[in-house]
Structure 1
Amino acid sequence: MTEHLGGDLAIVGARLRTNTDEGIGATALLVRAGRIAALGDDAAIRAEAEAAGIPVHEASDATVTPGLFDSHTHPHWAAEVTAGIDLGGLETVAQLREVIAAEHARLPEGAWLRGWNLEYEPFEETGLRGDLLEDAAPGRPVALICYDLHTGLATAPALAAAGITGAREFADASEVVVDDAGVPTGELREPTAYNLVFDAAPKPSAEEERDALRNMFRRLAAVGLTGGAIMDGRDRTVELLAELEGRGELDHRVTVHHWHAVGDDDDDVARVIAAGDRRGRLWQTGAIKLFSDGVIDTGTAWLHTVDACGDGRVPFWPSWERYAEVVRAYHEAGMLIATHAVGDYAVSRVLEVYATLPARDGLPFHSIEHLEVLSDADVEQLRGSGVTASMQPLHMQWRAADHSDNWTVRLGPGRDATGYRVRDVLDSGTTLVLGSDWPVAQYDPRLGMAWARGRHAPGDPAAPVFEPEQRLSGEEALLAYTLWPARARGHEDRGVLAVGAVGDLTVWGADPVDATPDELPEVPIRLTVVEGRVVHRQ
């Protein structure tokens, strides 16, 4: 076992975006034992580093920012989910069948065929049906998951392996979809339902699972991410983080939000609270993730007005009073709560519950995740609430200029204009943080910032711009990946380049604020540094 202490390094010849009044005009910094020890000019920092035998990194024309933090990500889940074939961009059932048939021919007999990033559009006329794909992989269990991680699709062999023969009752809004005869169609809505199938699939060994998470963090480091909030935490996640850190292989600073399921009882809540102080050098628990609704695309978002299919008026919880009880219990235990709320009515109802909570001196307040659609009244309700709005404008990538995409059609005429209102949220005085929701969308924060700033597909001159009045500035987008998430979580020593701050750094080949939204995804990441250790080098 190796104890991984913070590292030492110096960077000279750079532009520093400090997010603070400290170090204005500085071109170099020094990190000792994992924390920033000095900001200054090149000569002074170089001399101090060389006197102490600390490596000096030349960063000519580079820009150093505080380390980037993804405020909503699922790296542990992604390491498992993305092990199959990527189905993103396949627009017809015929295309899906072709890809599945090719994978079927490649796999050994008896192996499951897994796929991820499945889109809803191929099934707009038929509905999600496993039998449409079955003879592309005859006799083989096929288990696919949609890009939003809210719906699964399984063929008959996979359903049989999971013992699914008809409808099931769940404690939450999950559903095994059946036809008029009560036969499962293969569509499995929400995690409690689709996990019946995925839990029946073969699992990697403990070592394979650990190494997959380690490698996932290294992929994130290559795009400049130094940390993130894991929004689907479970006991196994914590075990893996502790093991990786003990082996000296943890390259990411993370907060683990324990995933509270609707069916969890008071004993489960007490158990989570009792374990809420688990932490290592680079990871910590003490945070919770809950759902209030689902997603627009399947009609499971909770909306003020029903969607075009008449759906959208059912919460994820059979008892909203129980949601309020659970939130209060975690709040009074000093834990940080994040609630998934995609629909506008869900946002409003979560805000109502949060508003009943007593003050907690010295502790940060809670967040709402996604806030995909908001009425004017919802934006006003956010004002002065103290809530952090954790949003993902990157999810606009699935919208179409002609309003033909499933998200827009499902919402109904004109309602797409209420989507992803990051500018209105920020102007209301609400703390805004950005993230990817990986593997729902790409984990690259350069893409996330580009979408928040340009509201169009970067690099495509013909790309439609969605609600241009909601665009963020370059500085605001960077703050939403650095300083603002640190402050939202109560960390005064993160998100800034200042003496005493943690040595988490992202070194860019150009200034990410000055680069245009179209240029930003191509700006190289020269170094990613976590606690003074270089975890990625270009």
Structure 2
Amino acid sequence: MRTAATRRPRVSSADLILMADRIRTMAGEGAPTAIAVAGGVITALGDRADARDWRGPGTEVVDLGAATITPGLVDGHFHPVLGVGLTRGVDLSSVRTVEGLTAALRAAGRKPGGWLEGWGLDPNAFEGAPITHAPLVEALGPDVPVFLLLFDAHAALVSPRALELAGIGGPREFASGASVVCDADRRPTGHLLELEALDLVRVLLPRDAPADRRARLADLLRRMAACGLTAANAMDFEDDSLDLFRALEDDGDLPVRWRFAPFVMPGSGRDGLDAVIAQQRLAGRRWRVEGAKFMIDGTIDGGTAWLDEPDTHGESTACFWPDPGEYTAAVTVLNRHGVPVVTHAIGDAGIRYVLDTYAGLPRTSAVPHRVEHLETMPTELVGRFAELDVTAGMQPTHCTGHLRADHRDNWSTRLGKSRADRAFRARDLRDQGARLALGSDWPIAPFDPREIIAAARLRRPPGAAGVEPVLPGQALTARMALEGYTTEAAAAAGLAGTSGRLLPGYRADLAAFGLDPLTAGPDEFAESPVLLTVVDGRIAHSPTGGR
């Protein structure tokens, strides 16, 4: 039935008409069952009867029946190009014990003279024991060079042969909080923490051929669209990102829109900042550089976060920037040039310092600054996000995939109960008026938004009803979780007036699901079929093929 809110006057013929039993506009008005698109924007909403007035000789009409159409989903934190390089070799994300690690490496097989790589290893597999290369030697012997990236990509485990090839025979000094972990006799254990230490070995790894990287990136984007994603925020723009995305657009339109924020690392200096400012002019048809990415600390699991008080190992007490004032100075320069800033901040001291820095900046961009991860945070900081109009970015599966309700995981034991009890405070942020964008941080965690939306509601992995939720009081409602991928994501990008809702004049980025994300149970929605994904008014994914 047409309503005053949804009925539209006759419009010129549509390029595409979609019909479904439910269309969630996220605008709080009407109950349309048909939507018209022309020129990449939504031109009309109404019911199935209205659709007759929108048709022209070239209109494509798709009736999805009992499906639910929502705005296209936007991942708030992604590493597409970096991730293509990090997800090489053996996928270790399902390894739960040292014995399982040994078995996985044996199954991968020895490669004399070549490197064995792996990724996604959870430190919880060591069950609180020191992380050393002993399982690597047991599985493969001492002569195979091995590089295994831990799940957070801030740490690695390497074999004795890899240490030898890199010339690492003892502790090293780094400008940042990186370290080569050594035993009591100052012998490296194989555990490397943070980027400077990882790069000592990573520079020795064989490089992928450009054609292979391009093919893997193209496949990644197709798989993202197949999950209902229409856009994502890339938190880096390094290496060959520009070449890869230009090459993909030479072949046709991207199935996912992208916003890139190049890294700014300690020691970048004014030349590095000027380069990031210059990159803000780069754009393609469905991608653009808009922002800059900083890190104020590392990770709690690796002991490199920045906490007000040391963790139970006596670690996590330092800023990622040797002089935090240089971070503030760099952010100030970029803000003066209208560049929105994203900062990785995991520990309470890091979050506080970033918010204090943002508080001293005048607003120079339509895109608000943001803070990512926010893993442990005292109550006095929660309200500052709304007060300062700073976006909070959070990845729910970082919590549900690696934390346990009984605090017997590595993350929680490092923090102790009081700090672990304030983990991933998603609901508190929303209840206090903060803008909360959700995402995956792929390849740190899988990117399927259906599973992440479910995890945000459940505070446990979807499909694991027997697992006790982690701080269930921090669960989001179904609408809040969907907003984290739609309206909140659009506002975080300064696009609240053109994206994130299904209204005339808004971008025609849509997703269609077999189940309604607002009424289906979260476990069920995590497995909902994706029936259609539309970007810029064109079908980017359909199980039966699309244009």
Q: TM-score, normalised by structure 2?
A: 0.92
Task: Please name the residue that 2:100 is paired with.
Answer: 95
1:529 maps to 2:534: yes
Task: Please name the residue that 2:378 is paired with.
Answer: 375
Whole-angstrom distance in 2 between the partners of 1:52 and 1:486:
34
Whole-angstrom distance in 2 between the partners of 1:48 and 1:307:
62
Whole-angstrom distance in 1 between the partners of 2:383 and 2:41:
40
Give the CA deviation at 1:177.
2.0
Task: Please name the residue that 1:435 is paired with.
Answer: 439
1:420 maps to 2:424: yes
Task: Please name the residue that 2:43 is paired with.
Answer: 37
Give ranges in structure 1 of 5+ residues lacking alignment.
Answer: 1-6
Task: Please name the residue that 2:6 is paired with.
Answer: none
Task: Please name the residue that 1:13 is paired with.
Answer: 20
Give the CA deviation at 1:235.
4.8
1:466 maps to 2:470: yes
Task: Please name the residue that 1:123 is paired with.
Answer: 126
Whole-angstrom distance in 1 between the partners of 2:341 and 2:149:
26
Give the CA deviation at 1:131.
3.8
Report Cα offsets for 1:243-267 as digits up to 9, x if no partner: 2112115211010110111131211
Aligned letter for 1:211? A
SS in structure 2 at match of 1:369: strand
Whole-angstrom distance in 2 between the partners of 1:296 and 1:418:
14
Task: Please name the residue that 1:514 is paired with.
Answer: 519
Whole-angstrom distance in 1 between the partners of 2:253 and 2:113:
34
Structure 1 residues 121 and 467: alpha-carbon distance in aligned structure 2, compared to 1, 3 A threshold: closer
Moved more, 463-472 or 66-75: 463-472
Structure 2 counterpart of 1:25, from 27, 31, 47: 31
SS in structure 1 at match of 2:344: strand
Whole-angstrom distance in 2 between the partners of 1:458 and 1:272:
39
Give the CA deviation at 1:192.
2.3
SS in structure 1 at match of 2:329: helix
Whole-angstrom distance in 2 between the partners of 1:376 and 1:275:
37
Structure 1 contact 10–46 (Cα < 8 Å) conserved: no
Q: TM-score, normalised by structure 1?
A: 0.94
Task: Please name the residue that 1:57 is paired with.
Answer: 62
Give the CA deviation at 1:122.
3.1
- After superposition, residues 302-381 of structure 1 pair within 5 angstroms as 302-360=306-364, 363-381=366-384
Structure 1 contact 131–156 (Cα < 8 Å) conserved: no
Structure 2 contact 74–489 (Cα < 8 Å) conserved: yes
Whole-angstrom distance in 2 between the partners of 1:113 and 1:321:
40
- After superposition, residues 205-224 of structure 1 pair within 5 angstroms as 205-224=209-228
Whole-angstrom distance in 1 between the partners of 2:417 and 2:405:
14
Aligned letter for 1:363? A
Give the CA deviation at 1:159.
2.5
Whole-angstrom distance in 1 between the partners of 2:80 and 2:15:
27
Give the CA deviation at 1:287.
1.0
Aligned letter for 2:220? M
Task: Please name the residue that 1:450 is paired with.
Answer: 454
Task: Please name the residue that 1:3 is paired with.
Answer: none
Task: Please name the residue that 1:502 is paired with.
Answer: 507
Moved more, 395-404 or 123-132: 123-132
Structure 2 contact 426–476 (Cα < 8 Å) conserved: yes
Whole-angstrom distance in 2 between the partners of 1:87 and 1:195:
20
CA RMSD between the two structures: 1.8
Structure 1 contact 172–263 (Cα < 8 Å) conserved: no
Moved more, 190-199 or 467-476: 190-199
Give the CA deviation at 1:405.
0.8
Structure 1 contact 214–249 (Cα < 8 Å) conserved: no
Give ranges in structure 2 of 5+ residues lacking alignment.
Answer: 1-13
Structure 1 contact 69–226 (Cα < 8 Å) conserved: yes
Report Cα offsets for 1:369-410 as digits up to 9, x if no partner: 011111111113334111000011221221223321111111
Whole-angstrom distance in 2 between the partners of 1:117 and 1:315:
25
Whole-angstrom distance in 1 between the partners of 2:146 and 2:422:
37
Structure 1 residues 16 and 102: alpha-carbon distance in aligned structure 2, compared to 1, 3 A threshold: same
Whole-angstrom distance in 2 between the partners of 1:8 and 1:189:
52
Aligned letter for 1:64? I
Give the CA deviation at 1:494.
1.1
1:247 maps to 2:256: no
Structure 1 counterpart of 2:388, from 385, 393, 397: 385
Structure 1 residues 418 and 125: alpha-carbon distance in aligned structure 2, compared to 1, 3 A threshold: closer
Report Cα offsets for 1:279-309 as digits up to 9, x if no partner: 1111010211100111111211111222111
Report Cα offsets for 1:117-149 as digits up to 9, x if no partner: 101123345422124312422322110011111
- Percent same amino acid at aligned positions? 39
1:202 maps to 2:234: no
Report Cα offsets for 1:57-116 as digits up to 9, x if no partner: 1110111111000001112222222221111232322221121112124x5x43321111
Whole-angstrom distance in 2 between the partners of 1:236 and 1:287:
18
Whole-angstrom distance in 2 between the partners of 1:370 and 1:46:
47
Structure 2 contact 33–46 (Cα < 8 Å) conserved: yes
Structure 1 residues 186 and 498: alpha-carbon distance in aligned structure 2, compared to 1, 3 A threshold: same
Structure 1 residues 210 and 127: alpha-carbon distance in aligned structure 2, compared to 1, 3 A threshold: same
Give the CA deviation at 1:338.
0.6
Task: Please name the residue that 1:234 is paired with.
Answer: 238
Give the CA deviation at 1:21.
4.9
Structure 1 contact 8–33 (Cα < 8 Å) conserved: yes
Task: Please name the residue that 1:481 is paired with.
Answer: 485
Moved more, 517-526 or 392-401: 392-401
Structure 2 counterpart of 1:84, from 68, 89, 94: 89
Moved more, 161-170 or 88-97: 161-170
SS in structure 1 at match of 2:520: coil
Give the CA deviation at 1:46.
4.3
Moved more, 216-225 or 118-127: 118-127
Whole-angstrom distance in 2 between the partners of 1:530 and 1:164:
49
Aligned letter for 1:298? G
Structure 2 contact 97–127 (Cα < 8 Å) conserved: no
Whole-angstrom distance in 1 between the partners of 2:424 and 2:430:
11
SS in structure 2 at match of 1:193: helix
SS in structure 2 at match of 1:39: strand
Whole-angstrom distance in 1 between the partners of 2:240 and 2:52:
43
SS in structure 1 at match of 2:322: coil
Whole-angstrom distance in 2 between the partners of 1:103 and 1:226:
35
Give the CA deviation at 1:532.
1.8
